[in-house]
Amino acid sequence: MGALLSLIAVVVLALVPFVAVAAGDLRFLVGVVVPGIAFAVFVFGLMYRVVKWARAPVPFRIPTTCGQQKTLPWLKNEELDNPSGTLGVLGRMFLEVFFFRSLFRNTTAEVNPEKEKVTYVAEKYLWAAGMVFHWSMLIVVLRHFRFFVEPVPRWVEFLQFFDGFFQVGVPVIYATTVMMVVGLGFLLLRRAFDAQVRYISLPSDFFALFLLLGIAISGGLMRHIEKVDIVQVKAAIAGWASFQGVTPEGVGTLYFIHVFLVSALLFYFPFSKLLHMPGVFMSPTRNLANSNRTRHHVNPWNPEVKPHTYAEWEEEFHDKLVAAGFPLDKE
Ligand code: HEM
């Protein structure tokens, strides 16, 4: 049900620009104003959320520890799983951000009815699909710089060359376009057909996937079926950058659908689970070293606790301790 609702929502979103451009000739509104506002909401929304996180006090070190911490010199410690300093944290973050290391080690619980036992087995498909989708999307977005920057930077040409290495089709079908759709398709089917995952899925989980799929498919169709005049697209994008509002010419309805869905994504991003992108950098369970035993961390807003040594305690209760017959350190 959640999947159907989200699919309907994305189809309606795709129909809005279709109707607006075909029936109302609202090209300026759909192609310039809406994406402009969406971009502003995205930037300020993201800043607001990140600053709010950054200001949240983290008085204690709460890194997730999954291995031996640094202790006696003859005990081998796990620097990545229990970082003792900045270098370990950097290594851990790098592997998390670029290779989804914790997802790689994900397991799934299965009940074996014959043995009446719960077993935990490795689940690498989710990790593989996550990697395929995220990396492809990153490269697709980086390739889009050829629309945003003039002249096209060398590194973009380099990416395009390797992405279209197999030279299939005219224009060349980029491997990442296909991989992005396949990755998203797997993630969607997993949510829809795996009973356990479906049970814990919300409509918003499906919505994000359908929306991204809609963007990728409309982009692919635009490249291979309803082609666009790239020079005009560049002029429209330069218009955004210079606040001049240039209505894109020489582009079909698919362009407006693509840009409208991207705008929906930008509007939605700062208020959705997609915020895990900046969130991973702000997560104290990942970005802190475990120095709990080597350094004394004091919660800054606790009332000041005066130390009370044994000698002071003995002094305070001296008479009572003597009366009760306790041996004292100080006679
Ligand atoms: C406002 C921002 C964007 C504009 C103006 C835009 C414009 C375009 C255009 C003109 C094409 C056709 C390319 C060609 O003919 O070679 C395209 C393709 C495509 N776009 Fe976008 N796009 C935007 C953002 C995005 C985003 C954020 C994503 C991904 C989440 C995306 C995913 C794709 C994909 C997958 C294709 C298929 C071809 C390829 O992989 O390059 N686009 N886009």
Instruction: Find the 316 Cα to ligand 1 centroid distance in Å.
Output: 76
pTM, 2 dp: 0.88
pLDDT digits (tens, 9 = 90+) for 224-258: 998 888 888 898 888 888 888 888 888 889 999 99
Question: In a 10 Å sphere around its CB, with 0-12 CB exposed, 13-18 middle and 19+ buried, how is residue 165 labelled?
Answer: exposed
> How confident is the model at residue 122, as a pLDDT?
85
In the predicted model, is pLDDT for residue 137 greater than 90?
yes
Q: Tell which CATH architecture fits domain 2-305.
A: Up-down Bundle (1.20)
Instruction: Look at residue 57 in the predicted model and tell me its pLDDT.
Output: 82
* Residues within a 6 A CB radius of ligand 1: 35, 137, 140-141, 143-144, 147, 174, 177, 180, 212, 215-216, 219-220, 222-223, 228, 233, 237, 258-259, 262
Output the pLDDT for position 158: 95
CA of 219 to the centre of ligand 1 (A): 5
Helix (H) or strand (E) holding 268: helix 253-268
Q: Which residue matches tokens 């502003």?
A: 40
Residue 111 pLDDT > 90: no
- The pLDDT, as a whole number, for residue 35 is 94
Cα–Cα distance for residue pair 138/153, rounded to 1 Å: 16
Q: Is the pLDDT of residue 220 over 80?
A: yes
Q: Which of 139, 144, 229 to mutate to test the pocket of ligand 1 (most atoms within 8 A of CB)?
A: 144
DSSP letters of 146-206?
Answer: HHHSSSPPHHHHHHHHHHTTT--TTTTPPHHHHHHHHHHHHHHHHHHH-HHHHHT--HHHH
Q: How far is the CA of 30 from the centre of ligand 1 (A)?
A: 16
User: Per-residue confidence at 79, pLDDT binned at 50, 70, 90?
Assistant: very high
Q: Of 25 and 130, which is predicted with more confidence? A: 130
* Per-residue pLDDT reduced to its tens digit, 291-321: 988 888 888 788 888 889 999 999 999 999 9
Taking only the tens place, the pLDDT of each residue in 170-216 is: 889 999 999 999 999 999 999 999 998 999 999 999 999 999 999 99
Phi, psi of 291 (to 5 degrees): -110, 30
pLDDT of residue 171: 87
The pLDDT score that the predictor gives to residue 40 is: 96
User: How confident is the model at residue 217, as a pLDDT?
Assistant: 97
Pairing of strands 117-122, 107-112: antiparallel
Alpha carbon nearest to ligand 1 atom 18, residue: 219
What's residue 48's pLDDT? Answer: 97
